[in-house]
Amino acid sequence: MKKIRLAASVAVLTATVAAPTFAADVTLKFGHVGKPGSLFEASVNAYAQCVSDESNGKIEVQTFGSSQLGKDKELLQKLKLGQVDFALPSSVMSSV
């Protein structure tokens, strides 16, 4: 009985330690207010491509332009709540 418990404990410990090496790919959301063809869109798309390249495709940054996820105030609120991972506001936010 002790050998079974020991084997089970070792199996659980091994699975727990090995789990981070089998982590799933990550998808991040990046919202901005820029229209198609704007500098906002070009910058965010370039950032998304760099992240994908540097992580060998393990991290994907989904971009949402044209205020799809909300205007500046809503984007920053979603950022605080963890609903958006990145936000690029259109102007200086004097109060948040």
- Which of these, 65, 31, 60, lies nearest to 48 by C-alpha position? 60
Residue 7 lies in a domain: no
Q: What is the DSSP letter of 44?
A: H
Provide φ and ψ at 28, rounded to 5°: -115, 150
Which residues span the domain enclosing 81? 23-88
Residue 94 lies in a domain: no
CA atoms of 24 and 93, how far apart (whole Å): 35
Per DSSP, helices labelled H in 1-96 are 2-18, 39-54, 72-81
Residue 11 lies in a domain: no
**Number of domains composing the chain:** 1
Residue 3 lies in a domain: no
CA atoms of 2 and 8, how far apart (whole Å): 10
Q: Where are the beta strands (DSSP E) in the chain?
A: 26-32, 59-64, 86-88
Residue 93 lies in a domain: no
For residue 68, what pLDDT is reported? 97
Pair of tokens at residue 53: 């390249």
Q: How do the pLDDT tens digits run along the chain, 96 residues long?
A: 665 554 444 444 444 445 555 555 999 999 999 999 999 999 999 999 999 999 999 999 999 999 999 999 999 999 999 999 999 998 876 666
Residue 60 lies in a domain: yes
